[in-house]
Amino acid sequence: MAIIELTPFTTTDRVLCVCQYGHSRSVALARFLHSQNIEAVAIGWQTAGHKFTETLVRESTKVVTLQDGYLGKILNQINCLALPHVCFDVGLDRWVNPYNAELSGLLLKMFISYQADPRPHVTPADVGYVLP
């Protein structure tokens, strides 16, 4: 896999948001990115299917996984040489709802932190949040 320099999100990005099933964490991030006029789609690495996932990755300018270790799950499914990847590591899905205010607030803080300092892994601790 090639190393790709990470840059802040822009309105020209096409972002693939990935969680396990594609129901809450990735949907919450995609909804937030839409509010910032950034194109985004949410999928689950377990539910999207190999060919569909590969197509979406190739068409994306960034892939954001929402839990540490999910990049490996994607790479095991597809043949991709370069993957612009960021992990907003919110941990296990304990929200079960993409409209959850706590999850939305955490993703906002992670987005702001990443915009100021693009790096491959952003954790709740990086933005002063302690997971219960």
Residue (of 35, 22, 18) closest to 98 by Cα position = 22
Give the pLDDT score at 79.
Answer: 65
User: Which pTM was predicted?
Assistant: 0.91
Percent of the chain with pLDDT over 90: 60
Q: Are 54 and 80 in contact (CB under 8 A)?
A: yes
Low-confidence stretches of the chain (pLDDT beneath 70): 1-4, 77, 79-82, 132
Residue 98's CB is within 10 A of a number of other CB atoms, namely 19
Output Rg (C-alpha) for the chain, integer angstroms: 13
Q: Give 2-31 pLDDT, tens digit per residue.
A: 446 789 999 999 999 999 999 999 999 999
Domains and CATH numbers, the chain: 14-125 (3.40.50)
Two tokens, residue 13? 């990005």
